[in-house]
Chain A
Amino acid sequence: MPDMRLLIIEDDRDAANYLVKAFRESGHSADHAADGLAGYERACEGDYDVLIVDRMLPRMDGLTVIGGLRQQKIDTPVLILSALGQVDDRVKGLRAGGDDYLAKPYAFSELLARVEVLARRRGSSSGETTHYRVGDLELDRLAHKLTRAGKEIVLQPREFRLLEYLMKHAGQVVTRTMLLENVWDYHFDPQTNVIDVHISRLRSKIDKGFDVPLLHTIRGAGYMVRDGSR
């Protein structure tokens, strides 16, 4: 992922400093605005890849900031950070124009993975991809067909969707919760390793018997499909 320009609108100075530092260490640049109004102004002026917006902010609350930006036709992807993690809060946040929602407290790896997906989406929003290719693994969405090194691999429908999501974000870390949200459409915490087992089944189907593994486990973060030979 090439470095991103981020704006963090967050009134908790410690949390904001931590985020700015962590994003810089991951090779991105991050600005910080300490209240809603300042954040709104900076978001209007600057060219950011992703905005990270806290919900409860002084001077202008997070959802108002997002609503205002959307009205100004500024469609920079927004990730909402909030201490309110319940389902309807998430729905409210997304309705207000947010693109993703993460409840506090969160793991930085989760935030980073989501922000990277949002930034990438912005870069490649033109053209419909029906064909994904990672190394010698090829997935055809329309024909619902998967081949590796020319050999067809048969997947269950859900496994196909899982792989499709991973390949769409090839080269990016995809977390377990992102998979649960986007492949299964549930937003809760499954508590056990249910996703891991699905991944290991998928892995045994696409990587078994090949020298170069394509589906990687990123420790402490999630999974990534990547052509390891490059």
Chain B
Amino acid sequence: MTALGKLIRTTAFKLSLAYLLISALGAGAVMGWVAWNVKKLVDEQIASTVEAEIAGLSEQYARGGIRALVDVVERRARQPGASLYLVTTFAGETIAGNVADLPAGVLQRPGVVETSYQRQGDTEARRRALARIFVLPGRFRLLVGRDLEDRETLNGVMLRALTTSLLWLTIIGTAGGIFVASRVLRRVDAMNASAQKIMAGDLAGRLPVTGSNDELDRLAQNLNSMLERISELMNGLREVSDNIAHDLKTPLTRLRNRAEEALRSASSQDDYRATLERMIDESDNLIRIFNALLMIARAEAGTDRQAMRAFDVSTVVTDLAELYEPAAEDAGAQLSVSAGRDLIIMGNRELVGQALANLIDNALKYGAQSDLPLLPQGANVLPKRMDVQVSARQVGNAVEISVADRGPGIAVADRERVIGRFVRLEGSRSRPGSGLGLSLASAVAQLHHGELRLEDNAPGLRVVIALPAMINATYVPAASPVEATRRLPHDDATPRNAS
């Protein structure tokens, strides 16, 4: 593409052309209107001159008849710059006047007429005139008219003015268009060049901003902040995948070491069996981590939204509390539940259940009172009972599920970080866990357009999952599949309507 071609193709140039066309049409219309008005004015002037002449002549005619009229006409016709006069007999012979020739038949039609004529003693080409024709008694005919040369001249002037101004308009407009277009083009070219550099791999590159704060500048600024955001996300993603790789390497290494160890030192079949069983446990743990990662990814991607149904959060809360109650008691914890009623949300019951299970699990694992040293495993003396409170209630337009413990809590500075994948705070690393529980709970909250909050339970930690309540819930509790199983004893195993 040539430079000119490129220029012509620019939006700025096309816009200039469009403006030019519109201005030209506008100018033409204005000039045309002026010309038309001027013509009208001139025509009116001519007509009134003719009328005045006629008034004078008819006075003469009334006073002295045709003879007096002829006299006056003879006299006036000889004056320089005179109007046009002609008096003829009924047969068309000229009696007096300064018109030599008229097209045939003009005199036969009384009234106002625009016609060509030739003046007496004038051999030049015919000219145009506006005339009025009367039939007098005795079938004499009188023509009084004015030459139209002035009007024609004026028209010519107008036309010249119009063409000249259009010509200049075009020249100036085109030049202006080219100027503006090339200016814009230069900046767009610069932006394109930067974009290409960024695409080629210079991810830190940004579009040039001139500082004029015009629309191109604002576009560049917006694109720059977009690039900034993308690179932040990419860094986050890279960090996450780095972490994932690192955190999966640890259990894989352990797995491998186990196998190696057994090959090196196992002496009996029982040894091999024990090692293999432990390796299966390790792999199950890995699979669990992968499942959790996949679940987080899917929840974050939001692809599960179409599978959402209305369900009662209070049922989930009491179910889960009941599920964990014996385990809590075993761990020396008092698990108490308070759930309001009819806390209907639109969501995925399984995922909310899983998120809540993670929170209860965390509370049981890390919610031991901080002033008590961790007891060695198998110790018979239970510490002061630890309390874990699970509750669900409606707060404004949200249903809040919370799990509160009396443990050491999480420092404000760590609260955001701990939601990240694989983040495990100091002091918790010695205990089993993958560091994915809160990430999943947070992802589930986000999937439901809600949020996960970590709060101070003074002392202890309170984790709140706030989910938007369903408004105008017309919720009819579906028979739970377990209930259905009880009613239909031979339709056991997994129910088909498990939605």
Contacts from A to B (Cβ < 8 Å): 85-88, 90-91, 94-95, 97-101, 103, 105, 107, 114, 117-118, 121, 124-130, 141, 158, 161, 164-165, 168-169, 180-194, 197-198, 201, 220
Contact = CB atoms under 8 A, between A and B. Distances in A.
Contacts of B327: 192-194, 197
A180 B494 CA distance: 11
A191 to B, nearest CB: 6
A117 B493 contact: yes
B489 A168 contact: yes
B490 A87 contact: no
Contact of B499 (A91, A184, A186): A91
A186 B350 contact: yes
A198 B327 CA distance: 8
Given A87-B307, A100-B493, A101-B494, A187 B350 contact: yes
Nearest to B351: A87
B353 A189 contact: no
A190 B323 contact: yes
B498 A184 contact: no
Contact count band on B: 35 or more
Interface stretch (B134-142, B286-294, B413-421, B460-468): B286-294
Nearest to A189: B288
B498 A90 contact: yes
B482 A141 contact: no
30 contacts: A86-B294, A86-B304, A87-B350, A91-B307, A94-B494, A94-B496, A95-B499, A99-B493, A99-B496, A101-B494, A105-B287, A107-B284, A114-B493, A117-B492, A121-B492, A124-B490, A128-B489, A129-B489, A129-B490, A161-B482, A161-B486, A181-B494, A182-B494, A184-B323, A185-B319, A185-B480, A185-B481, A188-B350, A191-B357, A198-B326
Contacts of A194: 323-324, 326-327
A97 B129 CA distance: 101
Interface string B262-302: 00000000000000010010001001100100110010000
B489 A191 contact: no
Contacts of B496: 94-95, 97-99
B350 A182 contact: no
B293 to A, nearest CB: 12
Interface of B: 277, 280, 284, 287-288, 291, 294-295, 298, 304, 306-307, 319, 322-324, 326-327, 329-330, 348, 350-351, 353-354, 357-358, 361, 364, 480-482, 485-486, 489-490, 492-499
Nearest to B353: A186
B493 A118 contact: yes
A197 B350 contact: no
Given A100-B494, A188-B357, A183 B482 contact: yes
A189 B361 CA distance: 12
Nearest to B480: A185
A182 B482 contact: yes
Give the residue among A90, A97, A98 with the most B Cβ atoms within 10 A.
A90
Q: Which 9 A-B pairs have the closest CB atoms?
A: A88-B307, A197-B326, A188-B354, A87-B350, A194-B327, A185-B482, A197-B327, A100-B494, A94-B496
Contact of A125 (B298, B304, B324, B490): B490
A166 to B, nearest CB: 12
Contacts of A165: 492
Contacts of B326: 194, 197-198, 201
A123 B319 CA distance: 33
Contact of A184 (B294, B298, B482, B490): B482
Contacts of A101: 494
A197 B330 contact: yes
